[in-house]
Amino acid sequence: MQPWRRLILLSIGLTFLLILSWVQFSGSVNPFAIIQNPTRSQQSPGDSDLDYDNDSTFTIDDVQPPKLELDDNVEHWNMHQLSEMYACAAGNGTRPCHPNREKIILLASGDTKFGLWYGWRRGESIWGEAMFREFYDLGYTVLVTEGWVEAPFLYKLYGPQIQIVVGERPGKCIYNPQCVKSTENPDGIPVWKIFDMNYFPKLDWFGTPTDATPLGGPWIATAVDNGPDYPYQYIGYSIEESCLAQTPLPASQRENRVYILMKELAFAHFATAWEPSYYARAATDLGIKFVAGYGDDPKFKPGGQDRPVGGWKDIEEPGKVDNLGGMGREDFLRELGKSRLLLGVGMPNWSPSPYDALCLGVPFLNPVRYFDQSDPDNQTKWETQHPEITRLGPGPPYVYTVHARDYEGFVAAIKKALATPIERYIAPHMKREAFRQRLINWAETDWKAKAEELDQVGWRKKAVDLHREKGETLNIDFVF
């Protein structure tokens, strides 16, 4: 659907909601303002949010949001959630309202939309969906747009209720006079409410310089924890709930095999830690089998590199290296759980899959892709496939680290993993409660105050300089 058609549909639906709200709030001076639940506003300061009246039998379970069920499309979801918020604010619901219900989290994220409604399973979509689900479960009203086209429209209607606006390439709003709040557009989204949804902790991952936020630091939310030296805001995700739905197989019931972590055949050749011949060779030497679930998309260009003439050479050798083909998440976890080791090949970086493996009781081999040949044990000069695990652990027998192109180390680590079963392991920062607390801190922080503490001249000059790099002039007078 074209963006202008989505806006028309959303406008019609929201107009209906506004008319409905005017009827509900006819006693209010401003029918477009969201008011507090009148029942709640009558409480004395010492009352609990759950003590709605003297005869109340409500418990904490009564204020929890109902089980998440997506509407058939994102537009219907947004309208449904807004109508629920209005009913809650008016005190017309059949249940007491969660204290967060009148607070909006706006995910201006195409990755999130396509993950939720179209089944995308790329890391960014999985991360966006994880935030969506947890924010919803925390009681917030969570709205989703495909990007920054619809976000300013929603903000003009519900700005005071919107806590944060999160999306890929936030510069598409920050440097758009029709989107960001400025002297010329006082109803726009304040720059301090706009956050960069950036899976990897570096500014130059993709796009042009003006795709990013000039505020930097905590206004760049990442899915991975790259340590205290990085100024970004680590939000992350949790694998606990999805993993605990799987029952780990006892070691005695697992197949004598290693699962190779790669979704594309190109990863066996481009920036790989192992020679493609290692797999069949190790299968013979160790009497085991390797399996993987990969495709060979002609359009896939790792690192922007073109495919070689004739394509990538397949590594499949039935009985030694078997390709299971593309799989959904549940099938992937099932196949992974049958294995005795998850083998990294060098890419993709920071994949969630090693944490899934550990939760299923499957060790991970984390290759050191690059290192100082004259000082190979100096970890400060390492570049591993999963830097987060390298930094935070755990170590053996959960995670084995082997230098690239070291066949003897490759075989030794596999042999040790096969002989040393592990119990299920969930990293502390991957537990659901830790993730939820990070989301709460994010949504409830006074970001305006933090932005006002920044060097105003500095970040505004940075915004100007970014445009100058493109041969353009920035003509936006940002206001808070």
At 3-13, the pLDDT tens digits run 555 554 555 45
Spatial CA neighbour of 9 closest among 145, 139, 131: 145
Q: What angle do CA 138, 14, 88 make, to 5 degrees?
A: 40
Q: Produce one character per residue of 124-149: b if its CB has 16 or more CB atoms within 10 Å, e if not.
A: bbbbbbbbbbbbbbbbbbbbbbbbbb
Domains recognised in the chain with CATH numbers: 3-234 (no CATH), 240-430 (3.40.50.2000)
Spatial CA neighbour of 478 closest among 211, 191, 212: 191
Cβ neighbours, 10 Å, residue 228 = 8
Question: Which band of pLDDT confidence, cut at 50, 70 and 90, is reported for residue 42?
Answer: very low
Task: Average the pLDDT over each of 7-11, 34-38, 227-231, 470-474 and give the range with the smallest value.
Answer: 34-38
**Mean pLDDT, all residues of the chain:** 86
- What is the percentage of the chain residues whose pLDDT exceeds 90? 68
* Backbone CA torsion sign across 37, 86, 219, 465: negative
Question: Which band of pLDDT confidence, cut at 50, 70 and 90, is reported for residue 202?
Answer: low
In angstroms, how far is CA 197 from the centroid of its own chain? 8
Question: Which band of pLDDT confidence, cut at 50, 70 and 90, is reported for residue 167?
Answer: very high
Spatial distance between the Cα atoms of 374 and 247, rounded to a whole number of angstroms: 44
Q: Produce one character per residue of 304-313: b if its CB has 16 or more CB atoms within 10 Å, e if not.
A: eeebeeeebe
pLDDT value of position 139: 96
439 by Cβ neighbours in 10 Å (0-12 / 13-18 / 19+) ranks as buried
Task: Average the pLDDT over each of 58-67, 69-78, 260-269 and give the range with the smallest value.
Answer: 58-67
Asked whether the predicted pLDDT for residue 188 surpasses 90, the reply is: yes
Average pLDDT of span 87-114: 89
Spatial distance between the Cα atoms of 346 and 317, rounded to a whole number of angstroms: 21
Q: 402 phi and psi, to 5 degrees?
A: -135, 135
Question: Which band of pLDDT confidence, cut at 50, 70 and 90, is reported for residue 19?
Answer: very low
Of residues 279 and 64, which shows the higher confidence score?
279
Do residues 270 and 302 touch, judged by C-beta distance below 8 A? yes
Asked whether the predicted pLDDT for residue 192 surpasses 50, the reply is: yes
Spatial distance between the Cα atoms of 301 and 297, rounded to a whole number of angstroms: 9
Average pLDDT of span 313-328: 95
Per-range mean pLDDT, top range of 87-101, 115-129, 264-278: 264-278
Average pLDDT of span 63-68: 86
pLDDT value of position 45: 33
Place of tokens 């390797």: 290
Asked whether the predicted pLDDT for residue 24 surpasses 50, the reply is: no
Q: 234 phi and psi, to 5 degrees?
A: -80, 120
Per-range mean pLDDT, top range of 130-134, 201-205, 206-210, 298-302: 130-134
Q: Which two tokens stand for residue 167?
A: 């999306």
Q: 129 phi and psi, to 5 degrees?
A: -65, -40
Q: Produce one character per residue of 152-164: b if its CB has 16 or more CB atoms within 10 Å, e if not.
A: bbbbebbbebbbb
Q: Which two tokens stand for residue 105?
A: 């989290």
Asked whether the predicted pLDDT for residue 209 surpasses 60, the reply is: yes
Of residues 10 and 79, which shows the higher confidence score?
79
**Is the model's pTM score more than 0.85?**
no
**CA torsion 158→161→166→172, rounded to 10°?**
40
Q: Which two tokens stand for residue 31?
A: 């029918």
pLDDT value of position 208: 74
Q: Residue 169, by phi and psi: left (phi above 0), alpha (psi -120 to 50) or beta?
A: left
| Amino acid (1-letter code) at residue 64 | Q
Average pLDDT of span 395-399: 97
For the stretch 250-300, pLDDT in tens is: 999 999 999 999 999 999 999 899 999 999 999 999 999 999 999 999 999
Which positions ≥6 away from 183 have C-beta within 8 Å?
A: 477, 479
Asked whether the predicted pLDDT for residue 445 surpasses 80, the reply is: yes
For the stretch 378-391, pLDDT in tens is: 999 999 999 999 99
pLDDT value of position 11: 55
Do residues 367 and 404 touch, judged by C-beta distance below 8 A? yes
Task: Average the pLDDT over each of 18-32, 190-204, 392-406 and give the range with the smallest value.
Answer: 18-32
Average pLDDT of span 345-350: 91
Asked whether the predicted pLDDT for residue 429 surpasses 70, the reply is: yes
